[in-house]
Amino acid sequence: MARRRLGQHFLRDRSVARRIVEAAGISLGDVVVEIGPGDGALTGLLVEEAHRVGGSVVLVELDEKYAQRMMDRYGSDRDVRVILGDARDLDFGELSELRGANGYRVVANLPYYAGTPIVRSFLEREDRPASLTVMLQREVARDMCAKPGKMSLLSLAVQIYADPRSLFTVPPSAFRPPPKVHSTVIELVPRDQPLVDSDDVDELFKLARAAFLGRRKQLHNSLSNGLQMSTSDVKEMTQRAEIDSERRPATLGIDEWISLLREWRKMQDVPEKVAV
C-alpha cells in the first residue's frame, strides 16, 4: 500500500508510463537515473529501453520495502543498480555508473513534497544530467515553466540552469491512490553554462526575494521595502537597468533580473562579476 506520508501516488496507467519513457529520449550508452521507482510502473519500461540501447539504470528508492522489491526483481541484472536512500542527500558524483558515462538522464514520477528540491539538486550540480523528464504537481510544473508575466522565484531558480518545457498533463485517475490534484510531465534540458555566475546566485536571489515579498506591488515599492533603499534610489537603479519601476516582479525575464542585479551591485560599489 502506498504511504501517504511519503507522498506516494503510484502511477498505474501504463500508457502514461510509455509516454514518459518515450519523451525521455534514452539513447546509446545512456545511464538512466530513476528517483522513487515505487512499485515499478516506469521501471520495467526504462530497463527494457536501456537494454535496447546498451545503457544502464540506477534506481534510487527511499522506502526500504520498495527498494527490496526492486532488488528482488533486478538484483541479478548487472545493468541495474538499486540504491536505498534519499535522492536529496545522495552524492551522485560517487556513483561509478555516472563517471565516464556518455551521459545520464533523470526520469521520475517525483513525490510532490520533494519534487522541487530534487529537481534543483540535479540542476545545481556541476555534472548535470543531459535531461530530466519528471512528473510533478501541475502547479509546481507550471511555475517551473512560467514565462515573463507569471514568473516566480521558482521559475527563476530553475530557468537560470535549464530550459524547461511542459509536455503533458496527467489526471488523478492515473494514480493509485489518486491524488487531489493533477500532475504534469515536464522536460528540463540543463544549459551548458548557468545564466548567472555561481558567485552571484545568492545576491540575485536576495534581490528577487525582496521583490517577490511584494509580488503584487510595483518594483519601486517592493524593492524599496525589501532592500531598505529609498524609492528614489530604486527608481534610479531600475532606470539604469532600462526597466520600468512600475512593473510587477512576475513580469521580469531572467535577462532583466541580471541587468537589475548589475545596477544594484554598482550602487553598492561591488565589483562587476555578473555573467552575460
Residue 92 pLDDT > 90? no
Q: Where are the domains of the chain?
A: 4-190, 198-267
Query: Which of 113, 101, 118 is closest to 188 using CA atoms?
Result: 118
pLDDT, average across residues 41-58: 96
Mean pLDDT of the chain: 90
CATH class of 4-190: alpha beta
In terms of pTM, does the model score above 0.85? yes
Provide the grid cell at 81. Answer: 543498480
Residue 24 pLDDT > 80? yes
**CATH H superfamily, domain 198-267:** rRNA adenine dimethylase, C-terminal domain (1.10.8.100)
| Segment (H or E) for 187 | strand 183-190
Confidence tier at 215 by pLDDT (50, 70, 90):
low
| Segment (H or E) for 211 | helix 201-212
| Segment (H or E) for 134 | strand 131-137
Pick from 23-37, 81-95, 207-221 the range whose average pLDDT is largest.
23-37
- pLDDT (tens digit per residue) in 229-246: 999 999 999 999 999 999
pLDDT of residue 191: 95
Percent of the chain with pLDDT over 90: 79
Pick from 26-30, 57-61, 127-131 the range whose average pLDDT is largest.
57-61
- pLDDT (tens digit per residue) in 129-177: 999 999 999 999 999 999 999 999 999 999 999 999 999 999 999 999 9
pLDDT of residue 88: 87
Identify the DSSP state of 193: S
pLDDT of residue 239: 95
pLDDT of residue 5: 45
Confidence tier at 95 by pLDDT (50, 70, 90):
confident
* Cα(62)–Cα(40) distance, integer angstroms: 14
Q: What is the 3-state secondary structure (H, E, C) of 262-276?
A: HHHHHHCCCCCCCCC
pLDDT of residue 1: 41
C-beta separation of 169 from 186 below 8 A? no
pLDDT, average across residues 62-76: 96
pLDDT, average across residues 184-208: 93
